[in-house]
Structure 1
Amino acid sequence: MLELRPNCECCDNDLPPDSADALICSFECTFCRSCADQRLHGRCPNCGGELVRRPIRPAKRLASHPASSQRVVKPAGCAH
């Protein structure tokens, strides 16, 4: 099950579980659309994988399967 991480690893902007602006790689590294498009050019800086839109978990399922609250941030931000 996806963790639905709460923030962008580059800029630390919030990405709530229902955000259409959250993108992930196959390892669930999570980025906002702005960083993914402008800084990372659609590639994960950690694994090199493709960044795709993160699915939205239905609100009624969040009660029994909540999103992660653990924030992951790259201390130096994300490089090209």
Structure 2
Amino acid sequence: MLEIRPSCERCDKDLDPLSDGAMICTYECTWCRDCAEVLGSCPNCGGEMVQRPIPSAARLAQDPPSTVRVFNPDLMAPTSD
């Protein structure tokens, strides 16, 4: 089961567990779609970011999403090209 983290690691935006705007990498680093587009790849592991699968409501009731927020404000700094 995915951890389903509650927020973007870059901007700390809330991400609903049923949102189609949440992106993750192989290690479940979690990003909002806007930040994922700016970053291009996961700054933590270098991996590809893909849309986080959306669980069914029944699965969420059985396996609640994480409440642990991961936030790294240093990632808000402009990226160098």
RMSD: 1.1
Question: Residues 45 and 78 of structure 1 are in contact (CA less than 8 Å); yes or no, is this contact kept in structure 2?
Answer: no
Unaligned runs of 5+ in 2: none
Counterpart CA distance in 2 for 1:76 and 1:70 is 19
Please identify runs of 4+ aligned residues in structure 1 that moved more than 3 A.
Answer: none
TM-score, length of structure 1 as denominator length: 0.91
Larger % of helix: which?
2
Within 5 A, what are the aligned runs for 1:1-80? Answer: 1-37=1-37, 39-41=38-40, 43-79=41-77, 80=79
Q: Percent identity?
A: 58
Secondary structure (helix, strand or coil) at the match of 1:61 reads helix
TM-score, length of structure 2 as denominator length: 0.90
Unaligned runs of 5+ in 1: none
